[in-house]
């Protein structure tokens, strides 16, 4: 039977979405990215070989199936072409399977420049963006001045739009940031070169999705970032500029919300975050360092060290509710091997009250003190286990309590980075 499923991050990103999309995409007709851009870094490990993807859907190592970039994605043509070429050099057919929506907003050099100037100007208050120009590109979309992938199909249209928008940006750079203006001729020439390479791949994605739906073919939607980075529901302003939650799927791809059958929340067995912003369960001690080292918690896109902490059930419960998660995939369970005691945050102390719904603003979340439940750890290794019955009893108890606190069943458990290092309790496609 065909099914349409979504794979989303339920924390602050880097939960292991790429691994699970690769795992689940063997028999799907299409995998679709619907938001974010090359700020994402999704890691796949197949037979020990590591592949890091930023824009191309994480099903590209499979033999078949379309890899679609939906209208909600902000596309740097330069980054996309680099990523395509890296895969093509490895002998992976990309052009045959990749299609890009004609309604994607383009990230152009002035977006990345503005992203950096803004972060520098904010100083200690910086968001800690990936510097890829994501926020400024989404701003252009909302301000209705964006240059989109369909504009790459007409040199005349592209030239006119670029002229107008660059005049605006160069005014901002020179007058507000006292920075050098960017060259219109250079950007136009580069973009026209990119247009030549990408034009055959630019198409109407909603039409493809609707046709697959009519033919009863399965589609998988691949989220980027995570629920707590959602521009509306995340820890604003320390968020990305798109809707990373399930609501973004329909708007970012053109696939009707009634057609989704299952939403899988990828959830790390502990918590990490890259960049600034509140993080109630953060550990600035030896345990935090242990998780960081053992979990190799270094950003896939920027190489920055990820902040680490205990599992926060208050925040993941909120993610379960916001996304209507059908089930969870718990990743990196093996990283907890060997810890004497594990802690799960089940509530916060906030202004002398006990709360289980996170406050709306970042300043208040930063004041929340986690209330922990302590559970015994396990001594034996779970690394690479493939069957639930092989797990130590205390690992089973930890998972059961975590699932109970957040209010969602566990469908998959990941015990290592490789595709095969996985325990499947309930395959979303069954």
Query: What residues contact residue 214 under an 8 Å CB cut-off, 6+ apart?
Result: none
Considering only 40-48, 62-70, 321-329, 357-365, which stretch makes contact with ligand IMO by CB under 6 A? 40-48
Examine residue 16 and tell whether it contacts ligand GDP (CB under 6 A).
yes
Confirm if 378 and 329 have CB atoms less than 8 A apart.
no
Q: Which stretch binds ligand IMO (CB under 6 A): 99-107, 132-140, 167-175, 312-320?
A: 132-140
Distance, C-alpha 211 to centroid of its chain: 27
Q: Are 13 and 242 in contact (CB under 8 A)?
A: no
Name the active-site residue from 22, 38, 42, 140.
42
Q: Is 387 a catalytic residue?
A: no
Q: What are 155's two structure tokens?
A: 């040199």
Q: From its phi and psi, is residue 332 left (phi > 0), alpha (psi between -120 and 50) or beta?
A: left
Q: Which does 332 bind (CB under 5 to 8 A by kind): Mg ion, ligand IMO, ligand GDP, none?
A: ligand GDP
Interaction of residue 300 with ligand GDP, rule CB under 6 A:
yes
- Binding residue (CB under 5 A) for Mg ion from 16, 41, 278, 327: 41
Nearest-Å Rg of the Cα atoms of the chain is 22
Based on the shown chain and the rule CB under 6 A, indicate whether residue 111 belongs to the binding site for ligand GDP: no
What is the spatial distance between Cα 414 and Cα 7, in angstroms, rounded to a whole number?
A: 14
Residue 194 among the catalytic residues: no
> Among the candidate windows 114-122, 294-302, 321-329, 421-429, which touches Mg ion by CB under 5 A?
294-302
Angle separating helix axes 184-198 and 155-171, nearest 10 degrees: 140
Contact window for ligand IMO (CB under 6 A) among 24-32, 66-74, 223-231, 347-355: 223-231
Least separation in angstroms between CB 1 and ligand IMO: 29
**Mask: binding to ligand GDP, 177-216, rule CB under 6 A, as x and -?**
----------------------------------------
Q: From the CB of 272, what's the least distance to ligand IMO, in Å? A: 8
Closest CA to 330 of 12, 91, 13, 20: 20
Contact between 208 and ligand IMO by CB under 6 A: the answer reads no
Choice from 275, 280, 295, 370 touching ligand IMO (CB under 6 A): 275
Work out which of 17, 38, 62, 97 binds ligand GDP, going by CB under 6 A. Answer: 17
Q: How far is the CB of 240 from ligand GDP (least distance, A)?
A: 12
Cα separations in angstroms, 414 against 13, 307, 316, 331, 411: 16, 21, 17, 4, 10
Angle 103-22-9 from CA coordinates, rounded to 5°: 70
* From 185-193, 206-214, 281-289, 409-417, span contacting ligand GDP (CB under 6 A): 409-417
Length of the chain: 430
Residues 98, 107: Cα–Cα separation, whole Å: 19
**269 or 345, CB closer to ligand GDP?**
269
User: Taking the chain, what is the end-to-end CA distance rounded to the nearest angstrom?
Assistant: 8
Of the pair 24, 127, the CB lying nearest ligand IMO is at 127
**The entry of ligand GDP, Mg ion, ligand IMO, none that residue 334 binds, CB within 5 to 8 Å by partner kind:** ligand GDP
Distance of CA 128 to the CA centre of its chain: 16
CA distances (Å), origin 198, targets 52, 140, 151, 290: 21, 22, 12, 44
Q: What is the DSSP string of 350-415?
A: ETTEEESS--SSHHHHHHPEEEEEEEE---S--TT---GGGS-HHHHHHHHHHHHHHT--EEEEE-
Name which of residues 306 to 335 contact ligand GDP (CB under 6 A): 331-332, 334-335
Note the residues at the interface with ligand GDP (CB under 6 A). Answer: 9, 13-19, 41-43, 45, 296, 300, 331-332, 334-335, 414-417
Query: What residues act catalytically?
Result: 14, 42
Note the residues at the interface with ligand IMO (CB under 6 A). Answer: 9, 12-14, 39-42, 127-130, 132, 134-135, 224-226, 229, 240-241, 274-275, 300
Note the residues at the interface with Mg ion (CB under 5 A). Answer: 14, 41, 300
């Amino acid at each position: 039977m065909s099914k349409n499923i979504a794979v989303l991050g339920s924390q602050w990103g880097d939960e292991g979405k790429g691994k699970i999309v690769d795992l689940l995409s063997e028999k799907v007709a299409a995998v679709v990215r619907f938001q974010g851009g090359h700020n994402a870094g999704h890691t796949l490990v197949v037979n020990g070989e590591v592949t890091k993807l930023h824009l191309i859907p994480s099903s590209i190592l499979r033999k078949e199936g379309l890899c679609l970039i939906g209208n909600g994605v902000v596309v740097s043509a330069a980054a996309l072409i680099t990523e395509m070429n890296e895969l093509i050099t490895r002998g992976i057919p990309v052009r045959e399977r990749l299609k890009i929506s004609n309604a994607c907003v383009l990230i152009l050099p002035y977006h990345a420049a503005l992203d950096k100037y803004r972060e520098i100007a904010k100083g200690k208050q910086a968001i800690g963006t990936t510097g890829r120009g994501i926020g400024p590109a989404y701003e252009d979309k909302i301000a209705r001045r964006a240059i989109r992938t369909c504009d790459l199909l007409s040199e005349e249209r592209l030239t006119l739009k670029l002229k107008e928008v660059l005049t605006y940006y160069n005014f901002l750079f020179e007058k507000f940031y006292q920075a050098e203006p960017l060259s219109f001729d250079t950007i136009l020439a580069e973009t026209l070169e990119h247009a030549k390479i990408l034009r055959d791949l630019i198409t109407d994605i909603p039409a493809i999705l609707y046709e697959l739906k009519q033919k009863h073919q399965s589609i998988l939607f691949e989220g980027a970032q995570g629920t707590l980075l959602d521009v509306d529901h995340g820890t604003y302003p320390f968020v990305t500029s798109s809707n990373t939650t399930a609501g973004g799927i329909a708007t970012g791809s053109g696939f009707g919300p009634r057609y989704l059958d299952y939403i899988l929340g990828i959830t790390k067995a502990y918590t990490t975050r890259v960049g600034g912003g509140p993080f109630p369960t953060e550990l600035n001690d030896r345990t935090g360092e242990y998780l960081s080292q053992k979990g190799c918690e270094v950003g896939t896109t920027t190489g920055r060290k990820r902040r680490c902490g205990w599992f926060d059930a208050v925040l993941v419960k909120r993610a379960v509710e916001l996304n209507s998660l059908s089930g969870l995939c718990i990743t990196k369970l093996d990283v907890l091997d060997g810890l004497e005691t594990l802690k799960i945050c089940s509530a916060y102390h906030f202004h002398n009250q006990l709360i289980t719904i996170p406050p709306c603003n970042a300043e208040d979340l930063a004041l929340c003190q986690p209330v922990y439940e302590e559970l015994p750890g396990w001594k034996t290794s779970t690394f690479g286990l493939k069957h639930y019955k092989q797990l130590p009893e205390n690992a089973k108890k930890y998972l059961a309590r975590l699932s109970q606190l957040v209010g969602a069943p566990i469908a998959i458990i990941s015990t290592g980075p490789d595709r095969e290092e996985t325990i499947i309790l309930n395959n979303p496609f069954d």
